[in-house]
């Protein structure tokens, strides 16, 4: 969007030779002058302008999840960001002296019209103030008139009345300068009337209308179109009622004609749709959450799954962050140990252990980053899952390093593959591990440890299918079943012995899933 704006700016400058203005430096004084004495006019030339400026605002719904009304947090964020972008003084002056833009009559190209009424009022107040001061000075200083009390009273009254009007205007500007729109809405939400919504929405809508008119004023002053882009994230981790409230606030802000707002709603529809269907405020609006979203979103953009190259780039960024963190931690630990008195003997062994752990971690990351390695194609498309894998691999390898004395320790590549397996298919892996545990407890044959984990899963997949209903939510955590088959049956044929070796260091698998499966399996066998 910024690149598009830069190209449009150059094209518009070549077309009409008018540079955009900014309310900064001398431009601030010019903006205040126009705010006080001129009314903007929307002309045909302004409507033909193609150059624009985007004001980007990020709204994380999770930061306001504790509010009674999440949508109020959206409005306060909008007000605060616009005030910060354009400055508090122009917005405060607009609240007191600004005029709403009007459309030009005919083909007039005049973008500013003098506010005759405001100029007359201000001129009249200044004239009265000057006259009152003159009368007061004459009554106080001229020798022959000093004894006339009537002139003093008249001069004082005129001066006080005219001066109070000017002071009142300055006080209003100062009040808006000190009390922001965000603070006004926060006071409304804190009041007792907020619970009953008495006049609350009308006041909030009035504040938003002032912002919209101010943006229209600044469009004409800056000689370019202005669009406020609100990026809404983390909405899928909030309560259902608050999700619906934010969407209603979006519709309210977008309901006005020629609204300058653009909402980018970054959500997971599979999470948002059930929230909408569960919320009580949506009853009667739509039977389906998808239908409600279709009515709200005007440009749907479903991000496709990442390709192999994008996954590797995402992995590389996550690994780089993890390596920097590991380097700082390891270096700090070694330096602290060296500084301790009497700890010089244990430093070499600890340093060697850290060096070996880092070597194994780097080897595991190289396998993940190698496009020719089959492990790379099982990387998840979600950036959050990639970070979870990258954060889990160092912990798993360090735990395995503590058991390095046992023969046949798993390789770093195998450990990385096991972490990916636990992250992508937690339900199916938990079922295979539970069946393996039950088989070990029933005195298996000596060669049982050489059996593949896939064969154990295949033998008991019928029971898993029978328990599909109570395990429905857990099964929804798993990835593609065909990839699970190719992973365990062909690319990484882990054995029962490998599974028992990894079980004690598997930290990214919820073991309560396996315990629930064991309970359901035992109850099913009792039947």
Contact present, 305 and 381 (Cβ < 8 Å): yes
In a domain, 164, yes or no: no
φ, ψ for residue 40 (rounded to 5)? -75, 150
Residue 353 lies in a domain: yes
Cβ burial, residue 444 (10 Å; 0-12/13-18/19+): middle
For residues 265 and 329, state if they share a domain. no
Number of domains forming the structure of the chain: 2
A 10 A CB-CB count for 281 gives: 13
Torsion of CA 287, 289, 294, 300, to 10 degrees: -170
CA 460 to the chain's CA centroid: 44
Q: Are 483 and 378 in contact (CB under 8 A)?
A: yes
Q: Are residues 286 and 315 in the same domain?
A: no
Cα 327 to Cα 335: distance, rounded to the nearest angstrom: 12
Same domain assignment for residues 376 and 433 = yes
39, 105: one domain? yes
**Do the beta carbons of residue 156 and residue 136 sit within 8 Å?**
yes
Domain match, 212 and 76 both: yes
Residues in the chain: 527
Strands 38-42 and 112-114: antiparallel
Distance from C-alpha of 291 to C-alpha of 287, rounded to nearest angstrom: 8
- Other Cβ atoms less than 10 A from the Cβ of 258: the count is 7
The domain boundary, picked from 296, 329, 363, lies at 296
Domain enclosing residue 86, as ranges: 1-114+204-296
- As a whole number of Å, the end-to-end CA separation of the chain is 63
On whether both 266 and 382 belong to a single domain, the answer is no
Instruction: Mark out the alpha helices in 88-148 (DSSP H runs).
Output: 88-97, 116-141
Contact 159, 182 (CB under 8 A): no
pLDDT given at position 302: 77
Report whether 347 contacts 360 (CB < 8 A): no
- Note whether 274 and 386 are same-domain residues: no
Six-digit token string for 421? 């397996």
With vertex at residue 272, the alpha carbon angle to CA 268 and CA 273, rounded to the nearest 5 degrees, is 115
Average pLDDT per block of 10 residues along the chain, 527 residues long:
87 83 87 87 85 89 68 81 89 85 80 82 75 68 60 68 71 76 70 54 77 90 90 82 78 76 87 78 64 80 75 77 54 55 54 79 85 85 84 87 67 92 91 86 71 88 83 84 91 88 86 85 73
Question: What 3-state class would DSSP assign to 42?
Answer: strand
Same domain, 246 and 285: yes
In a domain, 403, yes or no: yes
**Phi, psi angle pair for 372, to nearest 5°:** -80, -15
Query: Exposed/middle/buried for 252, CB within 10 Å: 0-12, 13-18, 19+?
Result: middle
The closest of 379, 359, 363 to 491, measured between CA atoms, is: 379
- pLDDT at residue number 443: 63
Within a domain: residue 354?
Answer: yes
60 φ, ψ to 5°? -95, 110
Q: Which are the contacts of 122, defined by CB distance < 8 A and separation ≥ 6?
A: none
| Whether 282 and 325 share a structural domain | no
Is 228 a member of any domain? Answer: yes
Residue 446's pLDDT is what?
Answer: 66
Q: Tell me: do 315 and 440 sit in the same domain.
A: yes
Judge whether 514 lies within some domain: yes
Contact 228, 215 (CB under 8 A): yes
* Together in a domain, 280 and 322: no
Which residue in the block uniquely carries the two structure tokens 């630990």? Answer: 333
pLDDT of res. 416: 92
pLDDT at 527: 63
Same domain, yes or no: 313 and 416:
yes
Which alpha helices (DSSP H) does 370-469 contain, by range? 383-402, 412-424, 426-441, 453-459, 461-466
Residue 160: inside a domain: no
Residue 194 is assigned to a structural domain of this protein:
no
């Amino acid at each position: 969007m910024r690149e598009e704006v830069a190209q449009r700016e150059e094209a518009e400058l070549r077309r009409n030779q008018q540079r955009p203005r900014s309310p900064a430096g001398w431009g601030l004084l010019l903006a205040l002058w126009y705010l006080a004495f001129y009314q903007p006019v929307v002309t045909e030339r302004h409507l033909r302008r193609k150059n624009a400026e985007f004001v980007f605002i990020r709204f994380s719904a999770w930061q306001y999840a504790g509010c009674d009304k999440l949508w109020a947090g959206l409005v306060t964020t909008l007000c605060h960001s616009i005030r910060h972008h354009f400055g508090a003084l122009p917005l405060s002056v607009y609240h007191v002296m600004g005029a709403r833009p009007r459309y030009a009559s005919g083909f007039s190209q005049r973008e500013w019209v003098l506010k005759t009424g405001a100029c007359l009022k201000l001129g009249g107040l200044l004239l009265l103030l000057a006259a009152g001061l003159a009368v007061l000075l004459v009554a106080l200083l001229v020798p022959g008139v000093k004894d006339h009390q009537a002139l003093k009273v008249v001069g004082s009254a005129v001066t006080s009345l005219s001066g109070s009007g000017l002071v009142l205007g300055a006080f209003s500007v100062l009040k808006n300068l000190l009390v922001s729109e965000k603070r006004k809405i926060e006071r409304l939400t804190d009041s007792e009337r907020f619970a009953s919504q008495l006049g609350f929405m009308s006041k909030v809508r009035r504040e938003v209308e002032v912002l919209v008119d101010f943006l229209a004023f600044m469009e004409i002053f800056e000689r370019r179109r202005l669009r406020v882009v609100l990026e809404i994230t983390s909405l899928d981790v909030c309560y259902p009622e608050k999700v619906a409230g934010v969407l209603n606030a979006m519709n309210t802000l977008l309901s006005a004609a020629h609204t300058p707002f653009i909402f980018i709603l970054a959500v997971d529809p599979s999470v948002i749709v059930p929230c909408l269907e569960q919320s009580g405020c949506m009853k009667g609006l739509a039977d389906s959450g998808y239908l409600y979203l279709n009515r709200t979103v005007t440009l749907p953009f479903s991000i496709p799954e990442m390709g192999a190259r994008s996954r590797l780039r995402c992995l590389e960024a996550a690994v780089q962050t993890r390596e920097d963190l590991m380097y700082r931690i390891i270096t700090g630990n070694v330096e602290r140990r060296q500084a301790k008195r009497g700890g010089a003997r244990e430093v070499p062994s600890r340093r060697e252990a850290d060096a070996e752990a880092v070597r194994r971690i780097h080897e595991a990351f190289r396998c993940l980053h190698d496009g020719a390695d089959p492990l790379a194609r099982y990387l998840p498309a979600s950036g959050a899952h990639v970070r979870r894998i990258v954060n889990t691999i160092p912990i798993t390898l360090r735990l395995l390093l503590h058991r390095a004395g046992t023969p046949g320790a798993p390789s770093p590549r195998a450990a990385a593959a096991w972490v990916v397996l636990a992250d992508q298919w937690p339900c199916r892996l938990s079922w295979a591990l539970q069946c393996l545990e039950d088989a070990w407890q029933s005195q298996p044959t000596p060669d049982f440890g050489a059996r593949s984990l896939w064969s154990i899963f295949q033998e008991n997949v019928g029971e898993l299918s029978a328990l599909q209903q109570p395990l429905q939510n857990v099964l929804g955590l798993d990835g593609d079943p065909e990839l699970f088959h190719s992973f365990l049956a062909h690319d990484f044929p882990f054995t029962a012995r490998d599974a028992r070796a990894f079980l004690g260091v598997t930290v990214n698998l919820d073991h309560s899933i396996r315990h629930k499966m064991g309970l359901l399996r035992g109850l099913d066998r009792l039947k």
